[in-house]
């Protein structure tokens, strides 16, 4: 952790959620490549090719699963230094068509489950007494309010940013940093599944870099926040949007 060249990630004990998804898989692979010991999790099975030590299938809408997951990860790794929480759900809908079920699933996964998971992990890290890093995936929507039928999703991500700021205040005295990354338009199925060509053109013309981001580019931001280089950064939201949003 002391050398300028040491990013502090070698042998770090890392839990990655949403690892069956585009960004989560890239994050898990990147931690493994950096020499970290990684446990992955998702509600659907995660590829064994990521190089994780173990994989735990868990539906985080069941809040009891957070405790089981954090305990399983810590037991496998001999403790826990980093949680990279990428699990998330987007239901893009015309606002007039949004149902209560659409509201519930997005807020349950993106916000409620995040609270129980991150609190569980922070509690364990506080008991360990060696600090820690919590990083969650917000979205440009936390700031913009969302585009193209994603107001409810945006509200859940706005809540997540506020939540992480509160957790940063709560756990900072234990040496635990809590940050979010806010991806813009990233080339994964979450974005591209039901995106029209017109909507894509609109996004690209509003993005100074004129392209979608890659999952790897979000992973780089997550690893930075987990690294020794980010040791005095907490309660931050890192804008990874290619300039789509400027703040």
Ligand X SMILES: NC(=O)c1ccc[n+]([C@@H]2O[C@H](COP(=O)([O-])OP(=O)(O)OC[C@H]3O[C@@H](n4cnc5c(N)ncnc54)[C@H](O)[C@@H]3O)[C@@H](O)[C@H]2O)c1
Q: Does the footprint of ligand X cover residue 190 (CB under 6 A)?
A: yes
Q: Which residues pair with residue 82 across a beta bridge? A: 14, 133
Contact 109, 61 (CB under 8 A): yes
Closest CA to 31 of 197, 232, 223, 233: 223
Binder of ligand X out of 8, 88, 132, 149 (CB under 6 A): 88
Segment contacting ligand X by CB under 6 A, of 19-27, 91-99, 120-128, 203-211: 19-27
The answer to whether residue 153 is catalytic is yes
Q: Side by side, which strands form the sheet with 132-137?
A: 54-57, 37-42, 13-17, 82-85, 132-137, 176-183, 237-240
Phi then psi for 25, rounded to 5 degrees?
-65, -45
Binder of ligand X out of 9, 12, 16, 23 (CB under 6 A): 23
Closest CA to 62 of 106, 28, 1, 112: 112
Q: Does the footprint of ligand X cover residue 87 (CB under 6 A)?
A: yes
| Cβ 37 to ligand X shortest distance, Å | 21
Q: Does the footprint of ligand X cover residue 42 (CB under 6 A)?
A: yes
Of 8 and 153, nearer to ligand X (C-beta) is: 153
Residues at the contact surface with ligand X, assessed by CB under 6 A: 18, 20-24, 42-44, 59-61, 86-90, 109, 137, 139, 183, 185-186, 188-191
- Catalytic residue IDs: 153
């Amino acid at each position: 952790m002391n050398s300028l060249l040491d990013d502090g990630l070698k042998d770090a004990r890392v839990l990655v959620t949403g690892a069956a998804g585009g960004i989560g898989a890239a994050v898990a692979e990147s931690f493994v490549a950096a020499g970290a010991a990684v446990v992955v999790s998702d509600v659907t099975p995660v590829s064994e090719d990521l190089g994780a030590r173990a994989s735990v299938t868990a539906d985080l809408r069941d809040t009891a699963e957070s405790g089981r997951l954090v305990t399983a990860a810590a037991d496998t790794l001999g403790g826990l230094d980093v949680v990279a929480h990428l699990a998330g759900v987007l239901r893009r809908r015309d606002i007039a068509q949004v149902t209560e079920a659409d509201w519930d699933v997005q807020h349950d996964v993106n916000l409620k489950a995040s609270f129980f998971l991150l609190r569980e992990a922070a509690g364990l890290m506080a008991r360990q007494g060696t600090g820690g890093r919590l990083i969650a995936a917000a979205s440009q929507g936390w700031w913009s309010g969302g585009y193209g039928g994603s107001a409810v999703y945006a509200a859940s991500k706005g809540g997540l940013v506020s939540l992480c700021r509160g957790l940063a205040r709560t756990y900072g005295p234990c040496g635990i940093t809590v940050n979010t990354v806010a991806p813009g338009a990233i080339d994964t199925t979450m974005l591209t599944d039901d995106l029209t060509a017109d909507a894509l053109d609109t996004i690209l013309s509003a993005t100074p870099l004129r392209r979608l981001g890659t999952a790897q580019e979000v992973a780089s931001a997550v690893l930075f926040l987990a690294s020794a280089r980010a040791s005095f950064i907490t309660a931050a939201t890192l804008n990874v949007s290619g300039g789509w949003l400027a703040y």
